[in-house]
Structures are given as C-alpha cells and as structure tokens.
Structure 1
Amino acid sequence: MTSLLASHGGFGLNLNPFETNIINLAIVIAALWKFLPGFLGGILERRRAAILADLQDSEQRLAQATTALAQAQQDLAAARQKAEQIRADGKARADAIRAESELRTIEEMARLKQGAMADLSAEAARVTEALRREAARQAVEKALVTLPGKLDPASQARLIDHSINNLGNA
C-alpha cells in the first residue's frame, strides 16, 4: 500500500529501515555524538586557548603601552622643564649681554669724549701757541721796524749782545 500511494504522487510514510537509511543515520548520529565532542572540543579548546593567549598578549601590550605612555609623559614634562630652563637661561644671558654691551658702549663713549677733549685741548694749545708765536713775530717785526729809529748804534749793539746772550742761555 505504501508503494501504491507513493506511485500516485501522494504523501506516504516509508517504514522500511533499510530503504530509509535510518540505521545509517543512527550510526552517523551516534558516531558524531561520541567523537564530535572530542574533535570539536579539541578545536574549540585550541581556539579558546589561542583567544586567551591573544587576550593576555593584548593586556601585556596594553600594560607596556601604558608604561611607555607614562614614561613619555614624564620625559615630555622633563623636556618642557628643560626647555623652560634653557629659555630662562637664554633670557638671563641676553640681559647680561645687553647690560655688558650698554656698559661697554658707555665706556667707549666716555673714552671717545675724553679723546675728543684731549684732542680739543691739544688743538687749543697748538692754536694758542701759534697765536702767541704770531703775536711775538709781529711784535718783533714791529720792534725791528721802530727800534732802528729809536736806538743809537751803541744801544743797538748792547741789545743785540743781550739778545744773543739770552738765546745762548735758553
């Protein structure tokens, strides 16, 4: 009867275990039930161990990165402090150089002023001496012009002798 229903395209139930492969399916299911947990369990256990190793590695790298970050932050703070110290030292050095330069400029200006005053004094002395010589020369010329008419030959001879004696003593 089952074949009759099956041949007419209807729905039927085949209860023959050899035709339906129920025994084969039962054997496969039992084998899977027996061996699959060990096989899949091993795969899953290896996968679990790999994931745990990756997690531990990630945690270790995170700890290293955190330590490196803390060290880098300390280094950055130290570098900033060093830069601030260098900047302060540079400013102090620049101030010292500026003060020294100003002092040297003032000293140089004083030296130049003293030199100018010395040059001015020397020039004034030279001009004064030149004026005194010119005045003396003009006085001598005037005296030579006027004296011959005022002195007699004897007085003139005494004056010449006296002048010669004064030139010899000087």
Structure 2
Amino acid sequence: MGERIKSTMDLLIYLQNSHLATGFGFNTNLFETNLINLAVVIGVLVYFGKGVLTTLLNNRKETIVNTIRDAEERYQEATEKLNKAYTRLEQAKAKAEEIRVNGLAQMEIEKQELIKAADEDSKRLEDSKNATLRFEEQRAIEQVRQQVSRLALELALETLKTRLNRDLHAQMIDYHIGLLQSMESVID
C-alpha cells in the first residue's frame, strides 16, 4: 500500500512540474482536461477499487466454476440415468419378446386344444345324429309295422265279414276247439 501512495505522490509532483501546470487558470482544451480527469479517475479506481474488483472477479470466477461443476455433475447424473433407462428398455424388450414367444406357444397349445375339442364335439354330434337317425328309423319301422298290422287286421275282419257265413263260422269254432283240446292233452 505504501508503494501506491508513493506512485500517486510522484504523479502529482510530475503534474506540478510539467509544462501543463505553468500557471493558474482555466484550461479550455476539453480533450486535455478529459484525459487528466480520466487518468485521475482510473488511478483512484485502481488504488481504492483494486481489492473490491479482485474480490468481485474472484467471486464471479468461483460462481462460474461452481456452475460448471454443477452442470458437469448434472450431466453425469443424466448420463447415468440415460444408461439405466437404456438398460431397463433392453430388459423390457427382452421381457416383451419372451412374453410374445410364450403367448404364441400358449396360443398354439390352445388352438390345438380347441381343434381337438371341436373334433370331439363333432364326433359326439355325429354319433348323436346317427343314434337319432337309428331311433327315428326304428320308430318309423314300428309305426309302419303297426299300421300294416292294423290294415291287415281290418282287411281280415272285412274279409271275414263278407265271406264268413254260418257254416264256415261253425267249422272255425270246431277247428279251434280241437286245437285247444289237443294242446290240453299234450300238457297233461
């Protein structure tokens, strides 16, 4: 600090001894007065403001360094998160592929089971149809048989009514009585 005072004093002594300070009066040359004023202001700022300016610059430097460091840390964290996300994405893709393959296999199994069940149902329906057809055929045959029997009986009764007279009726009764007697003798 003592050196600054000495340099300021030297400047003032120089200005007194220089040809600029030859007399007392107003200097109307604006350019010269502005240079002197500017030199004085810069000297005062350097002398008194050097510490403040240095502190401000150091603080600004620390702020910038901290900001850069924080940005680098956030970048590293973001990179790590991105890598983890890529890893999870790959795992998810692998899991999705596994699920797809398992789904296709399960779908094929279920398809085969459905085909088998449909074949069994078809066979059961075919058997049921055949049984129903046989039943209906038997029923139709039985109905035809009953109808033929009824018609034959009606025809026989009609024939008997038209052809049966008293003599033929007596012969038939005698014939059947004889049959019954012969059956009775066989049984005894």
The TM-score with structure 1 as length reference comes to 0.69
Write out aligned runs for 1:86-165 (5 A). Answer: 86-148=103-165, 151=168, 153=170, 155-159=171-175, 161=177
- Aligned-residue offset at 1:141: 3.5
Instruction: Give the alignment's TM-score, normalised by structure 2.
Output: 0.64
Greater RCO, CA 8 A, separation 6+: 2
Question: Secondary structure of the residue that 2:144 maps to in structure 1?
Answer: helix
Query: Paired residue for 1:168?
Result: none
- Cα distance in structure 1, aligned partners of 2:48 and 2:178: 162
Matched ranges for 1:43-62 at <5 A: 43-62=60-79
Which deviates further from its counterpart, 155-164 or 110-119? 155-164
Hey, what does 1:77 align to over in structure 2?
94
Distance 1:156 1:29 in 2: 166
Q: Structure 1 residue 125: deviation in Å?
A: 2.4
What letter matches 1:121 in structure 2? Answer: Q
1:52/1:10 Cα in 2 relative to 1: closer, same or farther (>3 Å)?
closer
RMSD (CA atoms): 3.5
Structure 2 residue runs of 5 or longer lacking an equivalent are: 1-18, 182-188
Question: Would you say how many aligned residue pairs link Structure 1 and Structure 2?
Answer: 158
Whole-angstrom CA distance in 2 between matches of 1:37 and 1:92? 81
Q: 1:57 to 1:152 in 2, by over 3 A?
A: closer
